[in-house]
Every structure is written in structure tokens, then in C-alpha cells.
């Protein structure tokens, strides 16, 4: 994870991405309620794309879209906005 120095390189899109990283990384997405090890899909932003290993995705840019990248075991490895 990149170094974040408050007031220098935090804020804007990076803070939005960092917020989602803190909520999702290491958890599995579920159709049920959120708990310590899972996060409810219904609580994700409207413009979310879940990317499984080996999935093909478009290269179009959408700064509001949250990309949620999953590991082989289904846990979230990282997120980004594009």
C-alpha cells in the first residue's frame, strides 16, 4: 500500500479509494448482511464493478466507478476508481 501523508497526498479521489480499501480488503462480498469477514454487495456504490481473477474488463475510464478486485479465494485484494 502506498505511503499516505495527511495534507500532502491524501484527499480527493485517493481518499475515496482509501476509504473503500479500508472497508473491503480481506473481506468476501456477500448477498447477506455485512460482518467482520464479509461485506454486503447491496452496500456498494451503484457504479461498482467486481473483477474476478482472469476476468476481462473494458478499458474505458469512469472516475466514479469503483473496481473491486477479488483473489482466487473470493476475498477482496484491492480496489481502485477508473
Nearest to 82 by CA among 11, 14, 33: 14
Please check the confidence at residue 78 and state whether its pLDDT lies above 50: yes
Q: What is the DSSP letter of 74?
A: S
**Other beta carbons less than 10 A from residue 72's beta carbon:** 9
- The Cα–Cα gap between 11 and 1 comes to 16
Question: What pLDDT digit, counting tens, does each position of 21-67 carry?
Answer: 999 999 999 999 999 999 999 999 999 999 999 999 999 999 899 99
What is d(CA 23, CA 8) in angstroms, rounded to the nearest whole number? 23
Domains, the chain: 12-81 (3.30.10.10)
Amino acid at each position: 500500500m502506498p505511503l499516505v501523508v495527511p495534507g500532502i497526498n491524501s484527499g480527493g479521489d485517493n481518499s475515496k479509494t482509501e476509504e473503500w480499501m479500508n472497508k473491503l480488503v480481506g473481506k468476501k462480498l456477500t448477498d447477506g448482511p455485512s460482518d467482520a469477514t464479509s461485506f454486503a454487495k447491496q452496500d456498494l456504490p451503484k457504479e461498482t464493478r467486481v473483477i474476478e481473477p482472469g476476468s476481462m474488463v473494458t478499458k474505458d475510464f469512469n472516475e466514479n466507478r469503483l473496481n473491486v478486485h477479488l483473489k482466487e479465494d473470493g476475498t477482496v485484494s484491492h480496489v481502485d476508481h477508473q
